[in-house]
A and B are shown apart, each in its own frame.
Chain A
Amino acid sequence: MSQRKSDPSRILRFTNLKLASWKNFKAADVRLGERTFIIGPNASGKSNLLEVFRFLHDLAADGGGLAKAVALREGMSKVRSLHATSNSAVNITVEMLSACGEKWTYALTFDTLSAKSEQVLVSSETVLKDGQVVLQRPDQHDRIDSDRLRQTAIEQVSSNKLFRHLADFFRSIRFMNAVPQLIREGQISPGGYPGADPLGRDLLQHIRAAPKGERTRRLKAIARVLTRVVPDFRDLRLEQDEQGKPHLVVGFAHWRSQAARQRESQFSDGTLRLIAMLWSLQEAAGPLLLEEPEWSLHTEIVQRLAAFIASMQALSGGRQVLISTHSDRMLADPGIAADELLLITPAPKGGSMITPAARQAIIAKAMQQGLSAAETALPMTRMHTMPLFGRPA
């Protein structure tokens, strides 16, 4: 299955997310900007928040759908919040905005047929475009044939004609946690098309699949970043070996010409992860989900990472990025604004809650004075400071 091309002016981004009974969140309602940092202690549910977007991807993916997306997460008992009132339905509502100003809303509520059943059914599914109802389920067809409720409309190519654009957008959401060893192994995309593998096994294929001009432009942008953080770095190119296998080749300024060129097999783990991240950031597509991108990167890179992400976003026309992290070095960047931060903290009655940092008056004020997110927001997520956490201003 090839990737469908999108008109750049119609590329969407998420502007709001509402959740009910999702994983460890009993409820949530947060605004989302172009760049969002999700911060919280280990096991607080940062990944579960990113997981919502992966779920939407799996709903619309080729060979995906509601039943598959729930099964991939080990069934409803793992998807539904333990802290919700017994057997409440799971709801995900997302609002989206395109570059040309189209507003979309997608709301999905699903539940099991009965308390003991694992059969997942759509309780309701709504699509709005600029406030007008495009889809409202259950509809009369669902009432006649209740088996239809086993599938969402978003996963059915035959019934999503009016909002296929939305399905394409969900499908283009990418989770990324590239594993350097797997990038080096280099494989044809396990996901069926280049760039589908979150672990980066198909990165080299993916880079090769890009149109030549675009590929050169993106590699040059990556090279500009590497010049600043990799000692003696000179250039970055894609080359093919005798078997036609693509390789990334880095040139170093070095007095020994033998040592001056290196293939990806010789790159450091950090360099490879950084290249994978910088490549994906430049794609004009749905949100990129980055889980702890600081992992295996040197401090020199980590403290520049937030700005690298912003500069790459500027090149891609603003690919939306959601980043889970607890790196104080990355969050020390003064260019991170309060409204880019979501804090995940334990909720009073169990589970976790999501608080936008901008709604915490003390954080917003401190950041206006020039204190960084690492100095203001991050300490709020430490276990011992939780009881001090005030009510939203």
Chain B
Amino acid sequence: MVFAEGFLDRLAAERLVLAVGSTVEGTSSDAGGRDAFWRTIPRYNAAAPHLGLILALADHDSRECVGPRLKATLPHHHANLILRLSVPMLEAWLLADRTALAGFLHVPVAALPDDPDAVEHPKREVVNIARRSTRRQIREGMAPAPGRGGLCGPLYTPTVEAFIASAWDPLRAAKRSPSLHRALRALRTATRSAT
């Protein structure tokens, strides 16, 4: 089962499950936002003994310390609930597959950061990298027009969705992203012990 913070997180979580050689059993859904995710996660935790493995994925979000929140939200964390947080957000995990993302966005590989987990705002970084694309469609779709008052262009979501579905390799990305590496390790351990 997969439960994720947002739509793109859910697609990435599904790829993670496949990457460790398992399949998504049961539902795959997303909360549609951070608040809704953290509101809902205790109910998944409570149901976890009856539902089997649940991969729950959300952004770590460096703006706040997540430790106390985790303790307050899940005082009795069930082993079936594999709660993983991308550091600081999903886009860091996407940036970590440098060759695939560079090819997909039509930018030089050198345009991508070496240490994606350390990038302050990976989503902004993805958008800024896309601005260098040789394809106009990618530049205009991924980046907002000047003065629009937003971070992403109008076609950010479907473009990233297509990248996750067609090009992103979590195993390759894990070599560059410690938080993704840890997530895959936890997921692999849990699926092995479940079988």
Cα–Cα distance between A367 and B148 once the two chains are bound (Å): 10
A359 to chain B, nearest CB (A): 10
Digit string of B151-164 for contact with A (CB within 8 Å is 1, else 0)?
11111111001000
- Find out whether the CB atom of B148 lies under 8 angstroms from the CB atom of A334: no
Cα–Cα distance between A308 and B154 once the two chains are bound (Å): 9
With known contacts A310-B155, A370-B124, A334–B150 Cβ distance under 8 A? yes
The answer to whether B149 has its CB under 8 Å from any CB of chain A is yes
With known contacts A337-B149, A368-B149, A332–B121 Cβ distance under 8 A? no
By beta carbon, the residue of chain B nearest A309 is B154
With known contacts A310-B154, A339-B149, A369-B151, A332–B34 Cβ distance under 8 A? no
By beta carbon, the residue of chain A nearest B34 is A375
- Find out whether the CB atom of A375 lies under 8 angstroms from the CB atom of B151: no
Interface SS, A side: helix
B5 to chain A, nearest CB (A): 10
Cα–Cα distance between A367 and B152 once the two chains are bound (Å): 9
The answer to whether A50 has its CB under 8 Å from any CB of chain B is no
With known contacts A303-B7, A311-B158, A370-B123, A335–B153 Cβ distance under 8 A? yes
Q: Which of B121, B144, B161 has the most CB of A within 10 A?
A: B144
Q: Which of B6, B33, B154, B157 has the most CB of A within 10 A?
A: B154
Digit string of A331-349 for contact with B (CB within 8 Å is 1, else 0)?
0111111111000000000
Instruction: Name the A residues within 8 Å of B156 (CB-CB).
Output: 307, 333-335
Cα–Cα distance between A321 and B1 once the two chains are bound (Å): 38
By beta carbon, the residue of chain A nearest B150 is A337
Instruction: Name the A residues within 8 Å of B155 (CB-CB).
Output: 307, 310-311, 335
Instruction: Name the A residues within 8 Å of B141 (CB-CB).
Output: 310
The answer to whether A35 has its CB under 8 Å from any CB of chain B is yes
By beta carbon, the residue of chain B nearest A34 is B154
- Find out whether the CB atom of A35 lies under 8 angstroms from the CB atom of B154: yes
The answer to whether A176 has its CB under 8 Å from any CB of chain B is no
The answer to whether A278 has its CB under 8 Å from any CB of chain B is no
Cα–Cα distance between A237 and B121 once the two chains are bound (Å): 44
The answer to whether A358 has its CB under 8 Å from any CB of chain B is yes
Instruction: Name the A residues within 8 Å of B150 (CB-CB).
Output: 334-340, 367-368
The answer to whether B64 has its CB under 8 Å from any CB of chain A is no
The answer to whether A128 has its CB under 8 Å from any CB of chain B is no
Closest 9 CB pairs of A and B: A338-B149, A337-B150, A310-B154, A337-B148, A334-B152, A335-B154, A358-B149, A335-B156, A339-B149
Interface of A toward B, CB cutoff 8 Å: 35, 299, 303-304, 306-308, 310-311, 328-329, 332-340, 357-358, 364, 367-370, 372, 374-375
Can you give 18 A-B contacts (C-beta < 8 A)?
A35-B154, A303-B32, A306-B154, A307-B155, A310-B141, A311-B155, A311-B158, A328-B32, A328-B33, A332-B7, A333-B156, A334-B152, A337-B149, A338-B148, A339-B147, A358-B149, A369-B121, A369-B151
Give me 12 other A-B pairs in contact (C-beta within 8 A), A339-B147, A370-B123 excluded.
A299-B32, A304-B158, A310-B141, A328-B33, A332-B6, A334-B151, A335-B153, A339-B148, A357-B149, A367-B151, A375-B33, A375-B35
